[in-house]
């Protein structure tokens, strides 16, 4: 394999070189209009200019580019081994869900309340909360730092 040709509505717009190391390639396709359906085709080409059969996909870009507002006014209820987080809902023109991130792990939250159990007592943690709408638009993260309570006795 030498390269891949990417076409939109039968017009080649990109030729992407093959990665002999087996890595993944990606190519952004710009200039597409919202609500218009496009035929995207990809075919492989070898060094002798022989082509594979094209893989084809119909794509209709959405029209929602509105990013949700960041979650705000984070509040906590602290325990020695966990925390309950609550925040003001994000504003957006679509349905919003949330992602709560702590120490490289992420959990989805359907409402603006989330419990993180299994934490260590008297330890400081940094949490990031992001809002994502139904079109995949993601807010800026809201960062919050808290320290769990010491265990008594």
CATH, domain 3-59, list 3.40.50.2300, 3.40.50.720, 2.60.40.10, 2.40.50.140: 2.60.40.10
pLDDT over 90 percentage in the chain:
52
- Give the span between the Cα atoms of 70 and 130, in whole angstroms: 6
Average pLDDT, the chain: 88
**What separation in angstroms does the CA of 4 have from each of 19, 39, 81, 102, 105?**
10, 16, 52, 39, 35
At 32, list the tokens: 């597409």
With a cut of 80, say whether residue 28 has pLDDT above it: no
Q: What is the pLDDT of residues 97-108, one digit of tens each?
A: 999 999 889 999
- Stretch 115-134: mean pLDDT, rounded? 94
The full set of domain ranges for the chain reads 3-59, 72-147
The whole model's pTM is what?
0.60
Average pLDDT over residues 113-141: 93
**Spatial CB neighbours of 139, under 8 Å, sequence gap ≥ 6:** 67, 68, 69, 70, 71, 90, 130, 131, 132
Confidence of residue 60 (pLDDT cuts 50, 70, 90): confident
For domain 72-147, say whether CATH 2.60.40.10 is its number.
Answer: yes
Residue 113 has pLDDT above 80, yes or no: yes
**Which phi-psi region, left, alpha or beta, contains residue 119 (left: φ > 0; alpha: ψ -120 to 50)?**
beta
Same fold yes or no, 3-59 and 72-147: yes
Tell me what percent of the residues of the chain surpass a pLDDT of 70.
93
């Amino acid at each position: 394999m030498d390269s891949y040709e990417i076409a939109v509505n039968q017009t080649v717009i990109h030729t992407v070189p093959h990665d002999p190391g087996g890595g993944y390639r990606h190519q952004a396709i710009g200039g597409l209009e919202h609500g218009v359906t496009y035929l995207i085709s990809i075919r492989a080409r070898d060094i002798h200019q022989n082509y594979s059969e094209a893989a084809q996909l119909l794509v209709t870009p959405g029209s929602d580019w509105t990013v949700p507002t960041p979650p705000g006014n984070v509040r906590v209820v602290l325990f020695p081994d966990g925390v309950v987080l609550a925040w003001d809902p994000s504003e957006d023109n679509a349905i919003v869900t949330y992602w709560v991130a702590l120490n490289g792990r992420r959990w989805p939250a359907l409402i603006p309340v989330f419990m993180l159990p299994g934490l260590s007592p008297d330890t400081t943690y940094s949490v990031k909360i992001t809002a994502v709408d139904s079109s995949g638009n993601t807010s800026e993260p809201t960062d919050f730092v808290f320290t769990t309570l010491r265990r008594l006795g």
